[in-house]
Amino acid sequence: MNYEKKPIPKQGGLFYGADYNPDQWQHAPEILERDIELMKQAGVTSASIGIFAWTSLEPKEDHYEFAWLDAVMDRFAKEGMYVFLATPSGSKPMWLSEKYPEVRRVNKDGIRDASGWRHNHCLSSPIYRKKTRAINAQLAQRYKNHPALALWHVGNEYSGECHCELCRSAFQDWLKKRYKNLDALNSAWWSSFWNHTFTNWGQIQTTDASIDALQLDWLRFINDQHLSFMLNEMVPLRERTPDVPCMTNFMGTHEGTNYWQWAEHVDIIANDLYPMPADCADSWRYSIQSDFIHSLMRGMSGGKPWMLLECSPSSVNWGKINKLKRPNAHRQEVLQAVANGANTIHYFQWRKGRGGFEKYHGAVVDHEGSNQSRVFQDCAAIGRELNQLSAVYGADCPQAEVAMLYDWESRWALNASQGPKVLAGGGPFKGDLYTKLCFDHYEALTCCGINVDQVSTKSEFSAYKVLILPALYLVTQEMADRIYQFTQGGGQVVATCLTGYVDLSNCCWLGGFPGAGLAELFGIWNEELDNLDDEERVKVMGQFSGFARDIAERIHLRGAKSIAQAGSEFYAGHPLITEHKCEVGHAFYLAARFESAVLVDFYQSLATRFDLSCTLDADLPLGVVFRRRESADKKYGFLFNYTQETHSIDLKEHSFLDFAVSSNCTGKLELKPYETRVLQI
């Protein structure tokens, strides 16, 4: 091979491509040639390869075959395209699964999985860790200097848990390191309840729903095991290819993985997202849900470019009803990611396979195999447009004035606790009360035209004007002190129902909620929590009016003032929204899950009072959203119509250059359903 190693696109470049499975087409080499031709037509620059190709690489133990992958890598290099080379740990070879049964997971009932499926390997198995490192070392050694190698795609969508004896023993060892002795563990877990006091480490099981602290620690352990497994995979990659970045694909707000911790160990943030089409009056909310997840990735990347590593160019095959995307929706989803800082757009998948679970999953190339399909033409048009937008990729997303804390530990602790309402319903957040409360506030801020950065408990808050803490259920004394310091520095803090209930071990704070001194900061005492039926509403009156649902707290004023009250139920007249002056800053407490109208009015009042900047100084209809990316000398705007209706936007005195038509936009601008305009400001 004498191909010149091209520089990998950095902040100012774009990757556009898909997951590609040439290992499934080794019997048909003409398919590779046809795919290369079609990729060039579609503007593809890159592909993730080898994700589930372990048996093709190692058909029997310690016997490796790389000829097919050599051919693929060489063809990509010849065409100046890049490969995200995957480590194949996400799916075990049958020979490995059958020879070493310990690599197969055991469920909560003690039953070991059969061979097959995917993402079901034991995280603690020394054999599986050894075998993954061995195949990864082979890949790294063989392709370390290959001109097509751009990135390592480490594993795939790490998820799930195992309850085998290896994992139980590893969990017990993890607990020993955390608590040092059983007295400390029993105290932290409040294990005298129901006579659960442990007198020997070996008594501790991997699951017990009656010990919510155990459940919380189990989730922490599983997260740490996944992270440890990924880092084990990366060892030979780091050793042999220290200059090749490593990433893995996150899954948005996935329950079992605290991605704030993972973000510290990967070189680039990457995420998979599959928005499901919705034909309903408020379908625009589904698009803002995607923005919410994109903003989480942007937060993990520190505002720098990140990767949308999987999305579908058409339908999926795993939903209850797999609808096709309506005209303009696919382009809008792609540009949403770009507007939120993505410099990579990859699809799952490039070509549909002939058989298996995903043979009907959307792909750029259909079973028909030509460039004539609607989806291929759509993807090719997007490829051309993304190439034309090259100037945008050197721009970051500007730091917002408002930060929102998203905390997996609060989510885990809340979900492990019996008592607070469990929400029904589907969507990307399903019955997750914690994440839905976070999204409520993100959506309201978006409707107000206010940009939001998502942050972690380790983030620095001082540069923000407003810090929002939706349902910060688990609060340490250290975190409470940081929140207090934020207000003393002149910041405005907003907390919601379910804030400050438990400590690090999921034990309730004594002295009243919110605990750890936050009751004094907010000037309230939260005495009781009312869980409402799905159809119930509590009327809200005062400075803000509307309704609350699902959760309402009965709080008392202890220095704060009430700015909105309950207008129904036996606690009518009790405060639902309070404000407490804290020397320089202010602390607001929202003691219910409010419907959108209340939250929008609340945040509009904060925007006026504390001079919060809007993303665009224009009156935008509900469901029309504006996002920005900025470089040192240029600013770009993305104007989205997330609705199924045509809207006319008054740009007032603004004048923008429309990239699509290379002409200025002034005055009235009409946006058709799902239409997106990319503008230079």
CB atoms within 10 A of CB 570: 9
Distance separating alpha carbons of residues 87 and 133, to the nearest angstrom:
9
> Structure tokens of 51?
């994700």
What 3 state SS string does 477-528 have? HHHHHHHHHHHHCCCEEEEECCCCCECCCCCECCCCECCCCHHHHHCEEEEE
Which of these is catalytic: 102, 157, 409, 520? 157
Q: DSSP letters of 46-94?
A: EEEE-TT-HHHH-SBTTB---HHHHHHHHHHHHTT-EEEEEP-TTS--H
Please indicate whether residue 239 is annotated as part of the active site. Answer: no
Please indicate whether residue 310 is annotated as part of the active site. Answer: yes
Q: Phi and psi (nearest 5°) for 127?
A: -65, -45
- Decide: helix, strand or coil at residue 360: coil
Alpha-carbon distances of 501 from 414, 497, 509, rounded to whole Å: 9, 10, 6
Beta bridge partners of 83: 47, 149
**Which of 368, 434, 458, 417 lies closest to 38, judged by CA?**
368
Which of these is catalytic: 58, 102, 233, 310? 310
* Angle at CA of residue 226, ends 225 and 229, nearest 5°: 85
Q: Where are the alpha helices (DSSP H) in 349-407?
A: 374-388
Distance separating alpha carbons of residues 649 and 675, to the nearest angstrom:
12
Q: Give 598: exposed, middle or buried? Use CB within 10 Å, 0-12, 13-18, 19+.
A: buried
Please list the active-site residues.
157, 310
